[in-house]
Amino acid sequence: MNILTIGIVSISSIIPRDAFDFGTNALAQAGYRVKVAPNVVGPAVAPAAERARLLEAFWLDPEIDLLLFSRGGDGAADVVPLLDWDALRARPDLPVMGFSDVTILLGAMLSRGVGHPVSGPMLSYSRRLTPEAREWVHSTLAEAPLPPVRLRVLSGAENGVGASGLPTGGHLTRLHWLWKNGLLPSADGRVVFVECTAKYPPSQVRQCLEDLRDGGALAGASAVVFCDFRHAGADRAELDAFFPDFAASLPCPVYAGFPYGHVPGILAIDFRRPLDISPDGILAFRDAGKPVPGVSR
């Protein structure tokens, strides 16, 4: 991806002024030109129709090489149904990066085959990102080599065969919304990454995962990877006990431990970049479309 100009957009909550200033200054210092949609900072969240029209305008701006969301929060579910997808097809390969609430847009993009979704840190994370996460973002956008990541094997890799495929996924409750509304992309042949925040109790996490499994949303998945869940204390213990049992109920390998979610060490995931996972849990994104040596496919 040749990225010179970044368009900052919002379809969810507004970003605090100090986080906006820090993030845009950091991008400018890194050598990017920045264009900012007028609804990004506020003073209040713009109506859904206005957010949709601004997203379309920035998407179709030929000067913009990457759309970067200012932050997540809430609101994407109101905007995505209002988008003119036929118009957006004029730029089918535009990289679009965000996560959390933006999962709804990225999933809809995959379902409709429009744009180049990248699930990764937004402008609001500029101050929080670890140096390793920042370097990972730059390497992802430059389509440069990425280091391997060791995962924990939860289930399904006992036969000595790992997993391969294109990635998909995002915030669990937003994946559930996409499924309920018929917009969740097919998991067939894909590696599904899932993260969630502590805002949603273990009972809701369990229900969402069971709905996705029982509703066929995970059918054909090459693998499922549980990423960061922000729960602590008794909630964390409850989920730690639930995940292995849930993993055993799936017909594909299940792993845990990829640093993706609401954490400073979040690693971006390019939904167009294939990856391989070895039977013992070594995840590696392929370089320039080449398979990773030594990984069972």
- In CATH, what number is assigned to the domain containing residue 220? 3.50.30.60
Residues 11, 55 contacting (CB under 8 angstroms): yes
Residue 79 is assigned to a structural domain of this protein: yes
Greatest Cα-to-Cα distance within the chain, rounded to the nearest angstrom: 56
Structure tokens at 131: 């140096």
Instruction: Give the CA distances from residue 259 to residues 130, 132, 227, in Å, rounded to whole numbers and listed in that order.
Output: 12, 11, 6
- The answer to whether residues 161 and 265 belong to one domain is yes
pLDDT digits 0-9 by tens, 39-89: 999 888 999 999 999 999 999 999 999 999 999 999 999 999 999 999 999
Range of the domain at 189: 149-285
- The answer to whether residues 13 and 42 belong to one domain is yes
Q: What is the pTM of this model?
A: 0.94
In the chain, the percentage of residues whose pLDDT exceeds 90 is 92
Last residue of a domain, one of 73, 99, 128: 128
Rounded Cα gap, residues 113 and 291, in angstroms: 24
> Is 80 exceeded by the pLDDT of residue 12?
yes
Residue 16 is assigned to a structural domain of this protein: yes
- In CATH, what number is assigned to the domain containing residue 51? 3.40.50.10740
Q: How far is CA 103 from the centre of its chain?
A: 6
Number of domains in the chain: 2
pLDDT digits 0-9 by tens, 134-166: 999 999 999 999 999 999 999 986 667 789 999
Residue 270 is assigned to a structural domain of this protein: yes
Last residue of a domain, one of 128, 159, 175: 128
Residue type, 289: G
Closest CA to 142 of 1, 32, 33, 269: 1
- The answer to whether residues 208 and 168 belong to one domain is yes
Structure tokens at 265: 């060490």
Residue found by looking up tokens 């964390």 in the block: 236
What is the overall mean pLDDT for the chain?
94
Alpha helix locations (H) across the chain?
17-29, 48-59, 76-79, 85-88, 103-112, 131-141, 172-180, 202-214, 233-248
> Is 80 exceeded by the pLDDT of residue 296?
no
